[in-house]
Each structure stands twice: as C-alpha cells, then as structure tokens.
Structure 1
Amino acid sequence: MDGDKKIQLKRELGYFWGTNFLIINIIGAGIFVSPKGVLEYSCMNVGISLCVWAACALLSMTSTLCFAEIGITFPCSGAHYYFIKRCFGPLIAFLRLWTSVFLIPGVIASQALLPAEYCTHPFYPSCTAPSLPKKCLALAMLWIVGILNRRGVKEVSGLQTMSTVLKISILSIISLSGVVMLVRGKENVERLQHAFDGELPDVSQITEAIFQGYLAFSGGESLTFIAGELKKPNKTIPKCVFTALPLVTVVYLLTNISYMTVLTPREILSSDAVAVTWTDRVFSQFTWIVPFAISASIFSNIIINVLESSRVTYLAGQQGQLPLLCGTLNTHSSPLIPVLLTVIIGSLAIVATRLIELINSLYFVVSIWTLLSMVGILKLRYQEPNLHRPYKVFLPFTFITIAITLCLVLIPLVKSPKLHYIYLLLFILSGWLFYIPLIYFKSKLVWFEKVTCYLQLLFNICIPDESEEQMFEVETSKHK
C-alpha cells in the first residue's frame, strides 16, 4: 500500500449524490412487483389497494424523518446500529447486527431475482421461465456488484445518476400515459369511480398488503448507513429526505393509477411482470425493451444495498462486535471483507429462497427493529435531553411510526399466526449463542488470528490508519 495515503472512510458525498442515493434505494424492485401483491391481499379492491399505497407512503415519510434524526445526531456510517447500541446496550445491538448480516443480503437477493426474471421473460414468451437460468443470472449480477463495490462509492456515482434518470423516465412514461388515457377514456373513469366496489379485506389481509407495499417505499432509512461519508450531514440529510420522498410518493401513486386504468385487477394478478403487461397493452412494439430497461434500473439498487450492508459490518468490526477483519479497508477505502461476506450470503439466499416468501419474512423483521429504533428515540429524548441534536423529528411522527409498526408486528402473529414468524423470532434470539462466548466472554480462536493475517496479505487490506472522523464526532456529541 501507498505509505502516504490514509486508509479511512472519507466525507466526500454531497446533496446531489445523497438525493440520488435515496431515490435509488426507494425506487427499485418494489414498484414493479408489489402492485400485484397489494392488489391480491386487498381482495382485488382497487380503492383499498390505493389506500394501502397511501398508508405505505405515510409510514415511509414518518419513519424516514425519524431515522434522519438518528443519522444527524450520530453522523457515522452505520448510525442506526450505533444508535441501538447506545440506547439498549451491546447485547441488543449484536442481535440487530446478527439479523442485519442476513437481512440486507436477503433484500439484495430479492432485488437480484427480479431483474433476472425480467431479463429471461422475453426468451420464454409463452410460459414461465425456469428457475435455473434466473438464479444463474441473479448470481452473476450479484458478483459483478461485489466487484464494483470494492472500488468505493465514487466509482459507482455515475451509474447511480444514470439509473435515477432511467427509473424516473420509465415511471414517468407509465404515469403520464395512464393519466392521458384516464382523461380521454370514459370507460377508464367509470372503472375508478367504482374502485371501492367488491369484497373488503380483513385486518390480516390488509397487513399482508402493507408488507407488500412497504417493499416499494422501503429504503428511507438508508442515509443512516452512509452518514459518515456525507458532507455536512446535519444539512444534507433533511434536504435529501424532503426532495426524494414527495417525488417518489407522487410517482408511485400515479403509476398505480396508470396500471389500474389500463389493466383489470385479474390481469394484474395473472401477470408475472405488471410493467411488461402494461407496456404490451399500450406500446406493444416496445414491449421487449421494458424488461431490460427495468433490470438496468434495479441493478444499481443491488450496488447500493451491498454498500449499505458492508458499512454496518465494517462499523461492527470497529466496535469489536465482529472479528477485526471486518473492520479493515483496502486501498480504495472500501471494506472489502464485509462486501465479500454480503455477496456470499446473498448468493445463498438466491439459491434457496422464493421471492414472495422472502418479502414477507424480511419486512416482518424490519418492522421489529424499526419499532425498537423509534422507542430508542423517545428513550434518548428523556434520558439525555441536552444531547446535541442539530435536527429533532416532530415527536407525533415517532408515535405514528410506533403505532403502525406495532400493528405490522402484532397483527400477523394474532390474526394469522404462521410458523415462519416463530422461526424468525427464534432466529433473532439465536444471536445470543454467539454473543455470550465470543463477545461477553471474549473467547479467542488462535487459528482465526492466523487466517486474519493470511487474508490481509491476500486481499491487501489493513486496519484504518486512525479512528474515523465520524466516530470522533459521535464521541464529541455525547458531552455536548
């Protein structure tokens, strides 16, 4: 390594990059796959499904503003993990880390499977594509992403900008076309006038519909993953939130109205790719372009989520809750080992999991940790009222997020108990089996130290030259 070059994470990302980052995280696989799930669990009631989308937008906005306070108060990469550790202690923080190590790669796996399905669709026009080519393509994309992420965030900034433009362009075409047809077609207007006719879903079905819709709005907390690499996070984070969230909400609602203007509920439910079916109906000559355009736009989400996951793992390595190897950087100031770990776990998820089950399972776990984070905001407001907070979220937003998230956690368990929810809770608690011997009693494996030295030489990685600037800021903020 260059002896004159400092190896550490740097603050070099501004408002424009942060806004792109947030939009990319939110607009991803969800808007192309969730309309089918939302409508199905809404009992094909168009009006109810649109209300579900509005509720998901509210949940996303309130929770994003709450996480903005966390990222601004503790401006380090992986701020949400550090926040849990500060509020509830190292044991709960380790359980949060334990689930994140598998949760985020699971999200990445679902994002990789979707563009793989879109790309293989044109080659099997009359039937469903086999799972083997889809999984092979998803694995190829995931490992390409791992190679790109090892170069650091600056290397993928151009791809992010292109992806944002592509996503907004695709959704704008769908939205505006639907609005034009709605204005010009009396039949389409009548269909929406009777939107609430039909069967009404029960509470458990509404909850499942929100799980599906929340996938499309998820990602608002993503700026806390990279808060330590943002310039002036106390100003940049709020600007990014108030730019990205309203834009995404309007685009999503118009897109869903457009889907339901052109397609009947049964056509949406019978479609493997709603956007492709919509394009086939409106612009049949360009149908073949849509799968590849959508796949290209979702590809950058995989890049960003690998980046997010690696930052959390890197911070945990710095905090001593993961092996020291996880707290190392390469010459591009990228946490290579956490990136490699994320890609490997994501690959296993691609091979072994179905997409719709993955969505329900992962976002049940997300709801649990979101609820705990909101309680942590209230706890810290009471215990440390003088803590330096450049931004304070409006407390009713915190209570709204707590109420909605609590419903998402409890209603599935009470109204529609399923074994996989119990398995997920047991999986979270299983982190204790690793925490007690490795963290609490600090047991050391001699052979692992030799492996660490070998991997440092093999991958040309090292411990950062000095403590990160953002960690200094975190410690300073404790005493203000």
Structure 2
Amino acid sequence: MALKRQKKKILQRVIGYFHGTIFLFSIIIGAGIFIAPKGVLKYSSLNVGVSLSIWAACAIVSMMAALSHAELGTTFPKSGAQYYFLKRSFGPFIAFFHLWIHLFSTPAGIAARGLLLAGYITQPFYPGCFVPEMPKKCLALAILWCLGILNARGVKEVTWFQTVSTVVKMTVLCFISLTGIALLVRGKKENLARFENAFDAEVPEASQIAEAFLQGLYSYAGWGVLVRIAGELKNPSENIPKCVITAVTLVALIYLLVNISYLAVLTPKEIISSDAVAVTWVDRVIPSMQWAISIGVSSSIVSSLNCTLFSASRLFFVASQEGQMPWILSTLSIHSCPVVAVIQILIFASILIIPSDLITLINYVGYINWIQLGLMMAGLVKLRIQEPNLPRPYKVHLLLVFGTLAMSLFLVLTPIIKSPQMHHIYVLVFTLSGLFFYFPFVHFNLGSTYFNKITCFLQLLLNVSPADDVNEYISAKGTSQKIPPETATKKE
C-alpha cells in the first residue's frame, strides 16, 4: 500500500496584483515620510522651493529606478532575484558582497525603525520631555519579536496584517494632506508665507543636493521588494510593473501633499528641530488628535518593518540555497516560512537597538543602496549585450536604465569628490571586510563537525526541513520551468 505523499514545502505563489501593491505601499510608506522631511530641508539650506523640487525629482528617479529594476524580477521570477541576478551577471564574488551588505544594513535599518516606532508610541506618556531609553528599547524589542512570530505563521497572515495597517496609515496621511490643503485654501498669511518666496533662501551646493536626494529617496526605499519576493508572486511578469506604476505614483502624490501640509503649518527651522514632525504638526493644528496621529505613524512604521523582515528573509533563504550562507537558513517551517532566516535577522537587529542619529543612518543605508543599484544597472546592460536572446517578459527601455545608472553615480561620487566624510571610508572598509569571510567559508567551503551538530540541533529545535524545490528551477534561459518527471525521479 503506497504511503500518502505529504504536501511539498516550497514558497507559495499566493500574492496577486492587489496584495503586491499593498506590499509596496507598506514598505515604501514607513518611517521615511516622518523623518526625511527634516533631512531634506537641512541639506536644502532651508530653501522651501529647492526642498519641494527635490521631493518631486525623487519621485521621478524612484519610478525610473523601480521600472528598470522590475526587469530583474520578470526575467528571473524567483525569490531573491537581485542576488541571483548579480551572481549570474558578475559571478559569486559580487553576489556575496550584496549579501554581506544586507546582512548588516537590513538589521540596522530594522533596529532604527523599531526605536523610532517605540518612541512614537511612548512619547504621549512623557509629554514635554524626552522618553527614557530603557522602556523605549524594551518596547522596540517586543515589537520586533512579535513581527517575527507573525512572519513565522506564513504568507497569508502577513498579507492580511499588511492590508489592515496600510489602510490605517493611508487614512492618517490623507488627513494630514487634506488638512494642509484646507489651510492653504483658507489663505491665512502665516500659512502661505513659506510658499510666496519659496526660492529666496540660500541655494545649496551640489554635494548638499546629493545628500538631500539621499534623504528624500530613503522615503521611497523599498520599491524593489516585489523583485525580492518574486517567487511568491502570481504572474510576476505582469504584476511587478503594474504594481510599481500604481504604488509609486500614488505615493509620490501623497508625499508632496504631506510635505506641503507640514510647511503650511511649521517653519523650516521648526521642522528640522523636531524629532517627530507629524506629532509637532498635529500639536499645532489639532492637539486633541495626537493619539490618532501616533497610532497612524506607528501602524505605518510597523507595516514597513514587517514587510522588510518578510522580504529580507527570502534573500538569505536563496543565498543559503546557493551555498553562500549556512545551510540551515534554506529550511522551511510547516507554514512554508524560512523561519531560521527570520530569527537571524531579528537577533542582529536586537543587538543593534542602540541610540543612533537617524539622519546619519539614512545616509549610510541610502549610500550603500545606491552603490548596489548602480551595480545592478551595469549588470543589466552587461546581460543585454552578452545574452540578447534571454527571454524577458518585461523589457525596460535602456534610457531608463542609463538614467538610473547616471543618478547612482551622481549620488555616490558627488559627496566623495565635493566633501568627503568619514562615513564614506567606513562604507568602504565595511564592504572590504567581507573578504575575510568569503574566501574561507564560501570560496574554500571550510566547515567543521561542530557546525554540523549545531545545524542538526537547530533543525530539531525549530522543526524545520529543506525546501522541496526539486521540481522548479531557473533554466539556462533564465525562466522558471518544471523539471521533467524522469529527471526529477533520477534526482530523488
């Protein structure tokens, strides 16, 4: 009597156009719109006209980069497509550096947003004074590990949570936007003052404009999330470009209106001196609505955190399958979740929950991200030349690719040439430090019996097993295909 075959453990393609758009909203509209206006104004020399122009330009650049980036996920429709693409274009060495950077930059970003979220939640309990560090850190840790438990429950629970939290934060941002428009329509002198002579202030230098762009583009960060989770999308060749166009357009409109609303109520100096611009704004307009704003801001950040945790775990899952991370990270739970990868990110983020300057952190993360994006655009051009017959369901115009590459070079090189800072050296040293891990553990594949014992212990403790992915692979032509039954039988 034949035994009943168990359901295969694979990443399930359950995310369609609606939830794909929700995912984009969730990760893009996070902490950025509540902290980046401060940085953009600072590096714009408090010039209101330049600041708003940079926000509009950031929208155009983000759309251009997102559409160029979408080709990666449609050509290689698997989770962690950026990593796989870099490995195919430039080899395992460059792909490992992409992985190495995300191994630390992603938990650092999660830790910073966790602290920001905890600060927004606890601030109403400490009116008129600073929030003590200990309760803020403890709350941040509790939030992160609760999100880890949610991710471990599977994709359906995550998409449900993202939908609810996105509705809440969109409601709050629409409230801020419409209130600002109403104040401008009423035409009070103090509300219109900042816009009458918007460009009269000092004009920033090229290096300052580059830094301001990094601040504004941080608010759009995350538009590549669908490429990272392409293995769980339905019909990625159609849904990725459609979701990108829908989400980035609406986000750009909301961001412009929110910034106009901030400036209609607060002066540029008040904005850059505030640690919570939205809370300061509501204290000036409707003080009794502070709780509602805090809830909206909190839901915005927590949904972005959840989406980042979800997508980053897929990167480490795929890297483990490719042999560049410990094997245990490529295992799945009974809910088809790479739970070990989720736990690894949370451990790193928990260690990094320390006080930090958010503006400096944005520059670190933004600077590294644009280096990687420039590398991907160069790889895309390289693959177009080397493999012109590679099936590409969605093919972006090369003008957008070269435009994104040019913007990447501007943002990376201008600060170094015009005003070099120590954090540029830190980024270089950190990136090169990956060599000490790549050659012994990846290139030469050094291991030990001790590591194997730890792997067996974790597999039993967490009740995880290898993914049953023998029936699907990325073909030599770059498309997702099924292995013929006779070939699969031979492999088993």
The TM tier, using the shorter chain, reads over 0.9
Which has the larger displacement, 2-11 or 375-384? Answer: 2-11
1:15 to 17, 38, 54: 17
Q: Deviations over 1:374-409 (max 9, x none)?
A: 101111111111100000112111111111111111
For residues 189 and 126 of structure 1, what CA distance do their matches in structure 2 show?
A: 29
Superposition TM-score, scaled by structure 1 size: 0.96
Please state how far the C-alpha of 1:131 moved relative to its aligned partner: 2.4
1:203 aligns with 2:206: yes
Q: Does the 8 Å contact 2:78/2:480 carry over to 1?
A: no
Compared CA separation, residues 464 and 130, structure 1 to 2 (3 A): same
1:462 to 460, 465, 474: 465
Which has the larger displacement, 82-91 or 263-272? Answer: 263-272
Compared CA separation, residues 85 and 468, structure 1 to 2 (3 A): farther
Please state how far the C-alpha of 1:351 moved relative to its aligned partner: 2.5
Q: Does the 8 Å contact 1:80/1:224 carry over to 2?
A: yes
2:48 to 46, 49, 64: 46
1:326 to 320, 324, 329: 329
1:292 to 292, 295, 298: 295
Which amino acid counterpart does residue 218 of structure 1 have in structure 2?
Answer: A
Q: Deviations over 1:146-199 (max 9, x none)?
A: 111111211122211111111211111111111111111142334312111111
For residues 24 and 433 of structure 1, what CA distance do their matches in structure 2 show?
A: 36
Which amino acid counterpart does residue 215 of structure 2 have in structure 1?
Answer: Q
Compared CA separation, residues 387 and 290, structure 1 to 2 (3 A): same
Unaligned runs of 5+ in 1: none
SS at match of 2:240: helix
Following superposition of structure 1 onto structure 2, how do residues 248-287 of structure 1 map, counting pairs within 5 Å?
248-287=251-290
Q: Does the 8 Å contact 2:48/2:194 carry over to 1?
A: no
2:187 to 181, 185, 188: 185
Following superposition of structure 1 onto structure 2, how do residues 36-435 of structure 1 map, counting pairs within 5 Å?
36-187=38-189, 188-351=191-354, 353-435=356-438
SS at match of 1:442: coil
Compared CA separation, residues 93 and 476, structure 1 to 2 (3 A): closer
Q: Deviations over 1:326-365 (max 9, x none)?
A: 1111111000111011001111221264322221111111
Residue 438 (structure 1) aligns with: 441
For residues 318 and 357 of structure 2, what CA distance do their matches in structure 1 show?
A: 31
Please state how far the C-alpha of 1:473 moved relative to its aligned partner: 5.6
Aligned residue pairs, count: 477
For residues 398 and 158 of structure 2, what CA distance do their matches in structure 1 show?
A: 36
Q: Does the 8 Å contact 1:367/1:408 carry over to 2?
A: yes
For residues 156 and 310 of structure 1, what CA distance do their matches in structure 2 show?
A: 13
Please state how far the C-alpha of 1:296 moved relative to its aligned partner: 2.0
Unaligned runs of 5+ in 2: 482-492
Superposition TM-score, scaled by structure 2 size: 0.94
Please state how far the C-alpha of 1:133 moved relative to its aligned partner: 2.1
For residues 447 and 477 of structure 2, what CA distance do their matches in structure 1 show?
A: 28
Which amino acid counterpart does residue 237 of structure 2 have in structure 1?
Answer: N
SS at match of 1:135: helix
Which has the larger displacement, 283-292 or 11-20? Answer: 283-292
